[in-house]
Chain A
Amino acid sequence: MMKHSIACLCALLALVALTACSQNISPRPALPAVGHPEPLPQGRPICSDCHEVPMKDSLKSYAVLDHTATFVKDHRFAAASEAGTCAVCHKESFCNECHANYVEVKPSTLHGDRPDRDLPHRGDYLSRHKVDGRLDPASCYRCHGRTNNEKCVTCHRH
């Protein structure tokens, strides 16, 4: 196994070395380099700051996609009908860091350097999840599925 991980690391370092001299920057890896034609300011974008006319195909006001805290919490409504617009700025991996069946680390660990993001399960969640889970189990099934993943099965039958 050590061999595997060393091989992985070597491949990575080779890639890094190959590209280190390149000046092509994409500082937010989960956002595609092409897509949105205008550079966005730091943080969550407020679309209606720049977009005054409605969206081309759906004619909705851009304000419905303003990335306010409410939008971030309730983005499932926008995602259900505007998935194509999300893809202008977000790679699918951006969504799948939080939404996946089989994820290696919880999003708040993967991006532990980004406390300003709204990532699931801050702090140690294994003990604290019993409360949230009992309060609203349906909300957990959205991501964990009715049939839990490998880690949950250690303690939960199904």
Chain B
Amino acid sequence: MKRLAGLAPLLSLMLPGFAFAADLNVDGTTLLRIEERSAPGFSKQTVAPATQFLGIDATDVGAKGLSFHLYGWGRADLADKSAGDEKTDANLTYGYVKYRKGFPNAALIGKAGRFFVFEGIINEQVDGAQAQLILPQGFTLSAFGGVPVKLDRSSNTKGDLIGGGRLGFRYGGIIDVGLSGLHERNAYLDTMARADRQLVGGDIWIAPHRMVDITGRSSYNATTEDFAESSSNDNMKSYGGSLTYSAFKPIEIFVEYKHFKRDVTGSADKFGGEIRASLLDGALNPGFGYRRVSSSSTGSIPSYNEIRAFASYAKGAYSASVDFITDLYDKQFYGTDSDYAYELSGSLGYRISPVVHLSGDLSYGANPDYKDQVKGLVRLTFSYSTVKGAPQ
């Protein structure tokens, strides 16, 4: 709760602004979960965490183009501890102000606070600032800097400072390329030692024809002098592809294949697909999926079949869904006497008012670690918006 409390001054500073905001959106989800946990080697526990998620988006706060965005959660355990050492926990996922100014052929976007950066090869959460320039002739330029957001317990795993950016160029709707880079000072690397982390890389998108597009990304880890996502003592590679086919509107068929090769586990293939439908004007959505993992080294990776079937239905204020998933292993799972895992769950929902929705889930399952496991959950969501006649 401490960190959310730290937000209070920021919020109270922003509150007068909200009064002038053109549009205000507030979303919240309250979850009350009840689970019985019994891992081998640990005593049986009942956990009942209550979690509140909160999101606020306010646009044109005070001035046109200035907006405020916040999302976070807080939890209190009503029974045994559900995670970590404390009975309460909270986290601010993001909280930032954003300013956007448009020009005839360009735009400038600035952000400050805590936010995520997804650009090219960059995927970071920072406390800092970012500027993006959309320039004429298809150029884009963005740069960010700040302090990487630390994870709670092992708070020493992130560096002290981080910065990076992406230069992009797009032309005629057929090509979009970007060059991006990242530098983190005093980061924590695989080896437990601290060193600067440097990544440079490119992303490319080419569409020579309306129906074809080719995409790729590659990054080079300048610190370890290696291509990222591989390390010298454990080489791994994967490749594959997927295809979506929609023969006629309400039915979509998806197939995928992936091959994995890794020094320490040998090679494996994963293939399968999914068929999903949208029936009764989108009110009923059933789906079925099958996947097979077949491994050359049954010791470290068991071969198995995965089957999933689900359906969701909504009518008026009511909604209902069922979901079933099972993994059937060819052999006993990692030294246990079990060779399967499954979970069956169901959910019922009711819209109390235009802004409030109540739902409850119940699931039952078994797997190599837990003999029979029952989980229950109550979910209350509200979604408030000052926008009149907001599109659905």
A residues touching B (Cβ–Cβ < 8 Å)?
Answer: 1-2, 4-5, 8-9, 12, 15-16, 19-20, 22-30, 32-34, 36-43, 54-55, 57-61, 63-64, 68-71, 73-74, 76-77, 79-81, 83-84, 91-93, 95-96, 99-105, 109-110, 112-116, 122-124, 126-128, 130-131, 134-139, 141-142, 145-151, 153, 158
A93 near B176 with CB under 8 A, answer no
CA distance in complex: A122, B59 (Å): 35
How many B residues face the partner with a CB closer than 8 A?
Answer: 145
Q: Inside 8 A of B205's CB, which chain A residues have their CB? A: 77, 81
A113 near B388 with CB under 8 A, answer no
Residue of A nearest to B342 (CB): A123
- Produce 1/0 per residue, B303-325, CB < 8 A to A: 01000101110000001011101
CA distance in complex: A39, B386 (Å): 17
B302 near A131 with CB under 8 A, answer yes
- Produce 1/0 per residue, B375-389, CB < 8 A to A: 001011111111110
A24 near B388 with CB under 8 A, answer yes
Besides A68-B244, A69-B274, 20 other CB < 8 A contacts? A1-B88, A25-B355, A26-B385, A29-B29, A42-B278, A43-B282, A55-B173, A58-B138, A61-B207, A80-B178, A81-B170, A93-B71, A96-B116, A100-B116, A100-B125, A101-B125, A112-B361, A112-B379, A123-B343, A135-B295
Q: Inside 8 A of B168's CB, which chain A residues have their CB? A: 81
- Produce 1/0 per residue, B257-300, CB < 8 A to A: 01010100100101000101010011101010000010100001
Q: Inside 8 A of B186's CB, which chain A residues have their CB? A: none
CA distance in complex: A40, B302 (Å): 43
Write the nearest CB–CB distance from A128 to chain B, whole angstroms.
6
- Listed by A's residue number, 22 A-B pairs whose Cβ atoms lie within 8 Å are A1-B76, A20-B353, A25-B355, A26-B25, A26-B385, A33-B385, A34-B391, A63-B210, A63-B211, A68-B246, A91-B71, A99-B123, A102-B151, A104-B73, A109-B31, A115-B311, A124-B370, A135-B293, A136-B236, A138-B229, A138-B236, A149-B152
CA distance in complex: A113, B83 (Å): 23
A113 near B359 with CB under 8 A, answer yes
Would A5 and B354 be within 8 Å (CB), given that A24-B388, A104-B89 are in contact? Answer: no
A74 near B23 with CB under 8 A, answer no
B285 near A43 with CB under 8 A, answer yes
Q: How many pairs, one residue from A and one from B, have CB atoms within 8 Å of each other in the complex?
A: 330
Does B21 sit within 8 A of A, measured CB to CB?
no
CA distance in complex: A43, B247 (Å): 18
Residue of A nearest to B344 (CB): A123
B384 near A19 with CB under 8 A, answer yes
A25 near B229 with CB under 8 A, answer no
A80 near B118 with CB under 8 A, answer yes
CA distance in complex: A27, B361 (Å): 19
Would A61 and B242 be within 8 Å (CB), given that A16-B355, A42-B281 are in contact? Answer: no
B93 near A8 with CB under 8 A, answer no
Write the nearest CB–CB distance from B388 to chain A, whole angstroms.
7
B91 near A27 with CB under 8 A, answer no
Other-chain residue from B30, B211, B246, B392 in contact with A28 (beta carbon distance below 8 A): B392
CA distance in complex: A121, B86 (Å): 25
CA distance in complex: A54, B153 (Å): 47
Q: Inside 8 A of B151's CB, which chain A residues have their CB? A: 101-102, 145, 147, 149-150
Other-chain residue from A8, A70, A116, A142 in contact with B254 (beta carbon distance below 8 A): A70
Q: Inside 8 A of B51's CB, which chain A residues have their CB? A: 104-105
Does B50 sit within 8 A of A, measured CB to CB?
yes
CA distance in complex: A27, B256 (Å): 32
Q: Inside 8 A of B17's CB, which chain A residues have their CB? A: none
Does B196 sit within 8 A of A, measured CB to CB?
no
Q: Inside 8 A of B157's CB, which chain A residues have their CB? A: 147, 158
B384 near A4 with CB under 8 A, answer no
Q: Inside 8 A of B334's CB, which chain A residues have their CB? A: 130
Residue of A nearest to B115 (CB): A92
Does B62 sit within 8 A of A, measured CB to CB?
no
Does B87 sit within 8 A of A, measured CB to CB?
yes
Interface centre among A27, A37, A55 (most CB of B within 10 A): A27
CA distance in complex: A115, B327 (Å): 17
Other-chain residue from B73, B173, B274, B390 in contact with A34 (beta carbon distance below 8 A): B390
CA distance in complex: A43, B93 (Å): 26
- Produce 1/0 per residue, B23-62, CB < 8 A to A: 1011111110100000100000000011111010101000
Does B337 sit within 8 A of A, measured CB to CB?
no
A109 near B33 with CB under 8 A, answer yes
B355 near A4 with CB under 8 A, answer no
Would A12 and B28 be within 8 Å (CB), given that A80-B203, A113-B349 are in contact? Answer: yes
Q: Inside 8 A of A95's CB, which chain B residues have their CB? A: 116, 118
